[in-house]
Amino acid sequence: MRAQKEETLKEDTLAVRISRTLAERIIAGEIEPGTRLRQDHIAGEFGASHVPVREAFRRLEAQGLAVSEPRKGVRVASFELSEVREVAEMRAALEVLALRHAAPHLTHAVLDEAEEATKAGDASRDVRSWEAANRRFHRLILEPCGMPRLLASIDDLHAASARFLFAAWRSDWEARTDHDHRAILAALRKGDTEAACATLARHVQWIGHRPVSAAGGRQRKAFAIVG
């Protein structure tokens, strides 16, 4: 997720491609939290050896999508409400910082593109495309800050957010219109950076509550960042 292209370029190393594929699966919720990732099996599936798989694991670990214990292997990172909140608050802090630096460099073209992304989000009929549009919006208004390390951290946090989002809204999903996104854009157009930052901070920390049908038919409470 750190420098994502949609297609898997063959220029990338095998380890990178494997880690990207696994990251997608974890984020999409295809692999349950806590599941052991066995390098031999994964190596077999990708028709590769287990060395690149191990490197992919280190990558996932750095992203916070997997945790590894020294000689006991790696598992898909579990997440609880406390972790959802943690990610949300870190995103709020870092995205506000990024926006403050990006604001002076925001052009009309970028803001228009961001508005397009918002519309695309409103028009989307499934969670995945909504999440993609949402991510595009945030990226667009933050990228001009020109702080690569900060943007990389935010990307990782977005991946974690998306994981929570998909976990909560996997089965049922209703389209939402993004008032916050529009408010942020309006403030930015007026040159009111502080108002934009304040809205962004609140927006990211918005936590949705929804009952979700878990595997097994019974209902369980689920939570997700929705910003």
Partner DNA sequence: AAATCACGAATTATCTATAATTATGAAGGA
Partner DNA sequence: TCCTTCATAATTATAGATAATTCGTGATTT
The phi, psi pair for 216, rounded to 5°, reads: 115, -5
- Interface residues toward a copy of itself, by CB under 8 A: 11-13, 15-16, 51, 54-55, 58-59, 61-62, 64, 70-71, 82-83, 86-87, 89-90, 93-94, 96-97, 146-150, 153
Exposed (0-12), middle (13-18) or buried (19+): which is 145, by Cβ within 10 Å? Answer: buried
Task: Work out what residue 90 binds among a copy of itself, DNA, none; the CB cut-off runs from 5 to 8 Å by kind.
Answer: a copy of itself
Q: Per rule CB under 7 A, is residue 170 in the interface with DNA?
A: no
Rounded Cα gap, residues 24 and 166, in angstroms? 11
170 binds, among DNA, a copy of itself, none (CB under 5 to 8 A by kind): none
Closest CA to 101 of 198, 2, 197: 197
Binding mask 74-113 for DNA (x = CB under 7 A): x---------------------------------------
Say which residue the tokens 């950076």 belong to.
193
Residue keyed to tokens 């049922």: 172
Q: Which stretch binds DNA (CB under 7 A): 1-9, 36-44, 121-129, 151-159?
A: 36-44
The nearer residue to a copy of itself, 62 or 123, going by C-beta atoms, is: 62
Nearer to a copy of itself, 60 or 184 (CB): 60
For the record, the structure tokens of 154 come out as 């935010």
CB of 149 to DNA, least distance (A): 21
Q: Tell me how far, at minimum, the Cβ of 13 lies from DNA, in Å.
A: 4
Task: Name the E strands within the chain.
Answer: 36-37, 66-69, 73-76, 207-213, 219-225
CA-wise closest residue to 167 among 209, 109, 120: 209
Nearest one of 135, 144, 150 to 107, comparing CA atoms: 144
Residues 2, 54, 128, 210: which binds DNA (CB under 7 A)?
A: 54
- Residues that bind DNA in the complex, under the rule CB under 7 A: 13-15, 36-40, 43, 47-52, 54-55, 68, 70-74
